[in-house]
Amino acid sequence: AQSVTQLGSHVSVSEGALVLLRCNYSSSVPPYLFWYVQYPNQGLQLLLKYTSAATLVKGINGFEAEFKKSETSFHLTKPSAHMSDAAEYFCAVSPSGGSYIPTFGRGTSLIVHP
């Protein structure tokens, strides 16, 4: 079984500030990890994913995430927030074997202040 915990249901930053969205996972097998973004009134779209290649993963719109096995974390960062980054962000985990059910975290709402 696997699970995902996103710390903080809301994160508020100023435009130009660092964005850090936290995700911790638990999985009995090596996981695949994803970050998806949901803009208002839209479906989810992939930002980036970890598939056991490089531990530092770069995604779209300047986001990146680092897989840290020792900390069971996959935090999402962006050096400088833009107003257009305001959205809901979901971390998700899929096992690399066994049950194929993907599990999503409860989401973090990113608020960007001018």
Residues in contact with other proteins by CB under 8 A are: 32, 34, 36, 38, 41-46, 49, 51, 88, 90, 94-96, 99-102, 104, 106-107, 109
Backbone phi, then psi, for 84, in 5-degree steps? -70, -10
What is the closest distance, in whole angstroms, from the C-beta atom of residue 44 to other proteins in the complex? 4
What is the closest distance, in whole angstroms, from the C-beta atom of residue 16 to other proteins in the complex? 26
What is the closest distance, in whole angstroms, from the C-beta atom of residue 97 to other proteins in the complex? 9
Helices (H), 7-114: none
Number of Cβ atoms within 10 Å of the Cβ of 55: 12
CB distance 84 to 16 below 8 Å? no
What is the closest distance, in whole angstroms, from the C-beta atom of residue 92 to other proteins in the complex? 8
Q: Which DSSP symbol is given to 72?
A: T
- Nearer Cβ to other proteins, position 26 or 99? 99
- Nearer Cβ to other proteins, position 7 or 17? 7
- Nearer Cβ to other proteins, position 18 or 29? 29
Place of tokens 């001018």: 114
Backbone phi, then psi, for 105, in 5-degree steps? -75, 175
- Nearer Cβ to other proteins, position 79 or 106? 106
CB distance 104 to 23 below 8 Å? no
